[in-house]
Amino acid sequence: MMDENEGSFPLHEPWIGFVRFRHNWPEVGSATSHARSPWLSLGEASRLLGITPGTLRRWADHGDVAAFVTPGGHRRFPRSAIESLVPRPRSRRPVLTGLTASASRVTRAYLETQRSGRPAVDTGIAALSDTERADLKDRGRKLLLLLLDHLNEEPRRSSVKLAEAEDQAAQYGRRAAALGASLSGTLEAFVRFRGAFIAELAGIARRRRLDVREATALLVEGEGAVDRLLVALTSGYASERT
């Protein structure tokens, strides 16, 4: 079989055979009239797309990408058609839609860890009334929504949401201390929340089809934000006890 990555070819030959394709065929002049060839070999095109030559060959055979075959049996691809298929980098990751649903999933995951964990030994938490528990739950949900909003905002506005979330975390810590919950019990509950939240971020990355760079940035940003909330919560708890 001939090497499909060989050099240039005469464009003026009348007997060049074309591979079937669906794309509009661009008007292209002689390759010798351009310093940068408008044509790519199979190897060059596949490297540009980040796929194997075999995959690109199948695309061409199925008519999914423009190509033609030289008299010597080598595929050639219009550079413009191949470059149009290269994913363009996004200026920012996609919007994290369905934040209310995400908050509900985090809440369910948190409750599951609470039920599957060891029995609570914090007498302060155990002694809370239903109204007091509902108050802490409502504060926790507000904190969660602020955290998701922070991750969903443009960078220039996200710091405002994070500051609001830190203030909410400090209020949560003060309220937990005022209700008699121990610091260890409060922190244990926050660690369970943290695990559920990071797991939901990973789920968001899958559902939103984030690329590796975007998914990594989301998780790193999310973990950093949660760590700041933990510091704020601890500080709020300590301020109530002093």
| The pLDDT value given to residue 95 | 60
Per the CB < 8 A criterion, the answer to whether 76 and 9 are in contact is yes
Residue-wise pLDDT tens digits, 102-140: 667 776 666 665 555 554 555 566 677 888 888 888 888
SS3 sequence, 51-117? CCHHHHHHHHHCCCCCCEECCCCCEEEEHHHHHCCCCCCCCCCCCCCCHHHHHHHHHHHHHHHHHHC
Mean pLDDT within 48-58: 86
169: number of Cβ within 10 Å:
27
pLDDT tier, 75 (very low <50, low <70, confident <90, very high otherwise): very high
Encoded tokens for 119? 């029995």
Mean pLDDT within 172-178: 92
Characterise 63 by phi-psi region: left (phi > 0), alpha (psi -120 to 50), beta (else). Answer: left
| The pLDDT value given to residue 102 | 60
Residue 12 has pLDDT above 80, yes or no: no
pLDDT tier, 156 (very low <50, low <70, confident <90, very high otherwise): low
pLDDT tier, 215 (very low <50, low <70, confident <90, very high otherwise): confident
- Tokens 């969660």, residue? 144
Q: Please give the distance of CA 234 from its chain centroid, rounded to a whole number.
A: 30
d(CA 204, CA 222): 12
Domains and CATH numbers, the chain: 17-83 (1.10.1660), 99-241 (no CATH)
pTM of the model: 0.56
pLDDT tier, 173 (very low <50, low <70, confident <90, very high otherwise): very high
